[in-house]
Each structure stands twice: as structure tokens, then as C-alpha cells.
Amino acid sequence: MTPNLILTADPDFADLALAELQQADRTAQVLAELSAGVWAVYAPSGFWLVAERWQARPPIFVRHICPVDTAVDLPDSHKDVVLLERTVKAEFASLIDPALPFSIQARLLADKPYNKFAVNSALSDAIELLTGALLNTAEPVQVLSVVITEPVAYVGLSLAATNLSSWAGGEHRFAREQGQISRAEFKLLEALAVFRIDLPPRGLALDLGAAPGGWTRVLRQKEQYVTAVDPARLHPSLQADAKVRHLSLTAEQYLEAGPDRFDIIVNDMRLDGRDSARLMVRYAPFLYSHGLAIMTFKLPGDGRAAVLDHAFNILRPAYQLAGARHLFHNRSEITVYLKPK
């Protein structure tokens, strides 16, 4: 049986991701695990119906999907790129809309004498020459996905919006910046991108458990005035920032002191997801009605689905759950986007 979609998730959350697949199509079959966290799937309902269901209600743990329109046998690794270029010219060039930017997203799941960039370059050059469509790897509208295994390559054309992520395999990467304080900054940057959040101009932001200040630095880059709450010290670069107010308190102590009102509340504290949810509910009255909140839920090794359901139920009386995803930069946690009720 030939797969008709490729599904990607963090291998540590495979059970939850594959359960989401069954919810989208109970007849879907996993045919093979192509690599850690990458599965070849046959869904009788088809890629497009699964994608439509997940557009209406995005999954939390499935990070990326792409269609399989054709499978290309690869009998000689040194001729793979030539075979793929022929296939793309013959089967896909006529399907590319020349008015919409496109991207080639190749993934190599086998040891080959070439890299994914060689595939991307050869195929994108062919499409540009044949169609006149413009290559845009950062913000493509249409995507040609090429998943290369040892014996075969799976190729499919789709809209980036149907793939759950416009990045190959959902691997949303950011360049490390000079002055970066912590890896945690990538989590907030990815959340803002994935949930399409526009922060208010010169908003008032509260960062709970801020130290050493990665999320505070991102908020300052977005021109927010930040109140950073944490007994620990902030990074020296933030201590000198007049638009950062550091309160050497725990989040609970700040509640007792009487918080201000904020446009944004963020929370990346290392608490059990349910405890973080309870804390956010206590802070809900201090969020303006037009505001938003972003938090992470730390999940245990066992019973994660039950913990997640419990945490969501704690939040629901105070917040609208606007989004929840296991992002590429998350580890044993998910990121949640909240709006006040």
C-alpha cells in the first residue's frame, strides 16, 4: 500500500500525535516509521480531508503533514536528483500556480551522496524556469514536499497552510542573535509566529518567572514595557534597560502585593502544567479585556493526556483557549495561547 501523507511529530510524543491522527480519520493506517518521529500514513479519507479537519481544529502534537502524490523509486543514489527533477518537470510543473510564491522542502531520511540543499536548488531552478513562479522559502504559499528515504522518495504538492507549518517537518528555526540570553527565546518567537500574534504597540507586559530574562528580551525587542517578576537576577543587559521593571518577588508574592493591569502576560515557569494553569487563573483579573497570555505547560512522562485535559479545564472559566501546540522549540511541554473571557 502506498502512503498518501507523511506525518511528523516529536518522537517523545508519538502516542499523542498518532492518537490525534486516529481522531481525524479512524481508518488511517501507519504504514512505516521512516525516521524517528516521521511516519508514512495511508488515510482512506485522503490528505486533503485530514488537512481540512486540522485547519478547522489544529492538533497539538502533530507538527507537520504533507501529501504524497507520487513515489519515485531511487535505484541509484548518484542519479536521485536527476530522477526527481524529471518527475517534477513531468508531473508537477503544470500544477504550480505561477502567480503564487513556492518553496521546495526536501528532507533526507537516509544516507545519500548529496544534501537536501542540492535537491532544493535543482528542483526550484527547474520550477522557476518552467513556470515563472517565484521562489520564497520564508513565506511560501505552495510547497512541493520531497521526503527521501533509502529506496524511494515521496513527493507531494500542497498549500503551506494545509501542512500545519510552512517549515519542512515543522522545524521552525531561528538564527542565534548577538545578545541572546537563552534558548527559551526561540519558544516565544515561535509562538508569536505560529499563533500569528501581533503584540500591541508599546504594550504593558508581565513576565512571570522571568530570570534570566530570555522572554523579557524578546518582549523588549517587540517594544513592550516589561515587568519581570522573579527572585533571581536578570541578565545584566536587562538590568540597564529603563523599560524593564524587575520585581524580586515570586509570582505568588506579587499577587499578594497587588499587581498592575497588563496587555500581555507570559509564563514559562517550571511548574506542573496544572499548577501553572491555576496561577494563570489567579492573574486573569489583571489582564485587560483586549489582552492575551502565552504560557507553557510542563508535562510529566506518564499520564500526559489526563494532565493536559485537567490543565485546560482549570483555565477555561477564565480564558478562551486560542491555541495550543507542541512547538519545535518545546521539549517536555506545550505552548498555550490564551485570551481573556
Q: Do 83 and 20 fall within a single domain?
A: yes
Cα dihedral 175, 180, 183, 189 in deg (nearest 10): -60
- 341 catalytic? Reply is no
* Gap between the Cα atoms of 51 and 338, Å rounded: 24
Q: Report whether pLDDT(177) > 90.
A: no
The CATH number that applies at residue 259 is 3.40.50.150
Instruction: Dump pLDDT digits (tens) for 13-45.
Output: 999 999 999 999 999 999 999 999 999 999 999
CATH number of the domain encompassing residue 46: 3.30.2130.30
Q: What confidence tens digit (pLDDT) does each residue in 119-170 have?
A: 999 999 999 999 999 999 999 999 999 999 999 999 999 999 999 999 999 9
pLDDT of residue 301: 84
Same domain (yes/no): 213, 264: yes
Do 153 and 243 sit in the same domain of this protein? no
| Residues 130 and 231 reside in one and the same domain | no
176, part of any domain: no
**Residue 175 domain-assigned (yes or no):** no
Range of the domain at 13: 5-170
Catalytic-role residue among 112, 187, 222, 298: 298
The count of structural domains within the chain is 2
Q: Is residue 178 domain-resident?
A: no
The pTM assigned to this predicted structure is: 0.94
* Pair 25, 147 in one domain: yes
Regarding whether 223 and 91 lie in a shared domain, the answer is: no
Residues 206 and 109 in one domain: no
